[in-house]
A and B are shown apart, each in its own frame.
Chain A
Amino acid sequence: MTYVCLTDADREEMLATIGVSSVEELFRDIPEGVRLKRELDLDDPLSELEIVQRLERLAARNVPAGEEISFLGAGVYDHYVPAIVDAILERGEFLTAYTPYQPELSQGVLQALFEYQTVICELTGMDVSNASGYDGTTVAADACYIAKHATGRSKVVLAESLNPQVRQVVRTYAPGFGLEVVDVPHREGVTDPEELRAAAEGAAAVIFQQPNFFGCLEPAPELAAAANDAGALPVAHVDPVSLGVLEAPGAYGCAIAIGEGQGAGNPLAFGGPHYGFIAAREEFTRRMPGRIVGETTDVDGNRGYVLTLQTREQHIRREKATSNITTNQTLLALGGLIHLCWLGPQGLRELGETCMSLAEHTKDRLGLQPVFPERTTFKEFAVRIGRPAVEAIRAARTRGVHPGYPLGRDYEGMDDVLLVAVTEKRTLDEIEALAGALAA
């Protein structure tokens, strides 16, 4: 059997050293009443070849991006992840290591996470980042927890144009946190700063998304100002791929910046694992959840890295911890770091510009009615197609094109609306194919 390391001879010797006569005897402390008295109802063990064959059969029953021309976005995106990401992440010294609690053995991961934290702070204009959260939804809950304890207030305000799954996760965490959650409706695809200001009275935090779930650019500096006026912490949920062309949240008055990192460095993978990022102004350092890597020196004066401010975390502070998070998304965050270093500042800017330009081109070629014609969009936009979106999707897919996400799943009165995402992977021919598939 595949992963067994002991021979029968080994077991004999070991049992003798222990002083018992059988493996069965090692379990003598387990009461009879809770023993499983039959075999597990699982199949026979498979060889590696058989495992691969089984998994290939299952994979063949999926239609990934690559087998159809896909304009699906809505939170995770088909961006190009360079080959070096896999080449580095496959290395066993990263892949099979665990949390760097013994820093002398883990300078590789620790330094990489320090670099990741730096990159996130650079992108978002913030002073401190953690070493990753679970995904772009849970970091919103984290931000609410920080805000509650920092302000002493128990209400959070969410823009309706914020990703619906993010809002749903915040609402799931809210009862345990003792938080009231209030939505502010979108007005023609963006959030009205005056309405936000009114709703933010007495709130701990306000969370808005830039670009928002509809792909529209929010009046982000005014939203942040509105939150600050009401004494609430402005929290921007941002797309890392946009931060070469769009302003950093730290530059327009936000307290915390969060987001889903997937678009930088991770494959789609049917939704995960990915990584969430969370970064904040310096004053919130001690309230940050999760691991943080800090720089220091060793006894010889050499520079090195350690997990720091660990007294925030569960293994020390226990019930008063800033979060219960332990295992995070390190490997995925490292993928993000590598991808962003590969892009560099010019590449990131060009990536953002190309996506934006391709999306505009797509709007033109489709000739369909934009839902929010007055709004500038980034790499996604919403169009009305004059019939139920789910039908249009089914029809388009028979022509090898997935035209986008049916917004009616999450928003009233949008059953005929498609959310179309255009990344740098979409060619002009593919965009023509989309136009053809939707016109039919």
Chain B
Amino acid sequence: MAAEESYPDDIRYHREHDWARIEGDEAVLGITWYAQDALGELVHYEPPEQGATVSRGTPYGEVESVKAVSDVIAPISGEVLEVNQAVVDAPETVNEDPYGNGWLIRIRLSDPAEAEQLLDAAAYREVLAEQ
């Protein structure tokens, strides 16, 4: 059961359809409603290892549906503190709740200033309009 389309205002976005919720010197990362809709029901999530480094603009893992594989891109850099095991066990959680229970990793930010380069919801909606 996929969620309704939404792009919350309290998070920031990357044009490759990934989001980041900044919480002090940490952030939670995931993929947007648009991404899960394009892929279809997810069947697999390949996460990074805890302790790994993720870099802004580069892939840190993969999500798969039956018909497609997609890199998940880190909107912002840091060190992986936690992987969402619930999504590893039930990847469809991302389709049901892409911004809540469908979070993918939690990181400690290595360069908080990077957050300024992220898009807000309005700017991301403009990106979507171009698709």
Footprint of B on A, CB under 8 Å? 286, 310-311, 316-317, 320
Contacts and interface: CB of A to CB of B under 8 A. Distances in A.
Interface string B55-73: 0000000001111110000
Q: Which A-B residue pairs are the 10 nearest by beta carbons? A: A311-B69, A311-B64, A317-B69, A316-B68, A316-B69, A316-B67, A311-B68, A310-B66, A320-B69, A310-B67
A311 B42 CA distance: 12
Contacts of A316: 67-69
Given A311-B69, A316-B68, A320-B69, 9 more contacts: A286-B44, A310-B66, A310-B67, A311-B44, A311-B64, A311-B67, A316-B67, A316-B69, A317-B69
A320 B69 CA distance: 10
A320 B66 CA distance: 16
Interface of B: 44, 64-69
Contacts of A286: 44
Contacts of A311: 44, 64-69
Contacts of B69: 311, 316-317, 320
A320 B65 CA distance: 16
A389 B64 CA distance: 57
15 contacts: A286-B44, A310-B66, A310-B67, A311-B44, A311-B64, A311-B65, A311-B66, A311-B67, A311-B68, A311-B69, A316-B67, A316-B68, A316-B69, A317-B69, A320-B69
A316 B66 CA distance: 10
Contacts of B66: 310-311
A316 B44 CA distance: 15
Highest count of chain B CB atoms <10 Å: which of A286, A310, A311: A311
B36 to A, nearest CB: 15
A132 B64 CA distance: 24
Contacts of B64: 311
A317 B68 CA distance: 7
Contacts of B67: 310-311, 316
Nearest to A308: B66
A286 B69 CA distance: 12
A286 B62 CA distance: 12
Contacts of A320: 69
A11 to B, nearest CB: 40
Contacts of B68: 311, 316
A320 B44 CA distance: 16
Contacts of A317: 69
A310 B67 CA distance: 7
Nearest to A317: B69
A272 B45 CA distance: 40
A316 B69 CA distance: 7
A311 B91 CA distance: 15
A286 B64 CA distance: 11
A412 to B, nearest CB: 47
B117 to A, nearest CB: 27
A16 to B, nearest CB: 41
A99 to B, nearest CB: 16
A311 B46 CA distance: 13
A284 B68 CA distance: 20
A191 to B, nearest CB: 35
A316 B62 CA distance: 14
A60 to B, nearest CB: 52
B101 to A, nearest CB: 23
Nearest to B69: A311
B81 to A, nearest CB: 23
A255 to B, nearest CB: 20
A310 B66 CA distance: 7
Contacts of A310: 66-67
A316 B65 CA distance: 11
A149 B16 CA distance: 26
Highest count of chain A CB atoms <10 Å: which of B44, B64, B68: B64
Contacts of B65: 311
A35 B43 CA distance: 50
Nearest to B70: A311
A110 to B, nearest CB: 16
Nearest to B68: A316
B74 to A, nearest CB: 18
B126 to A, nearest CB: 29
A83 B44 CA distance: 44
B59 to A, nearest CB: 11
Contacts of B44: 286, 311
Nearest to A312: B69
B113 to A, nearest CB: 32
A311 B44 CA distance: 10
A66 B83 CA distance: 64
A317 B69 CA distance: 7
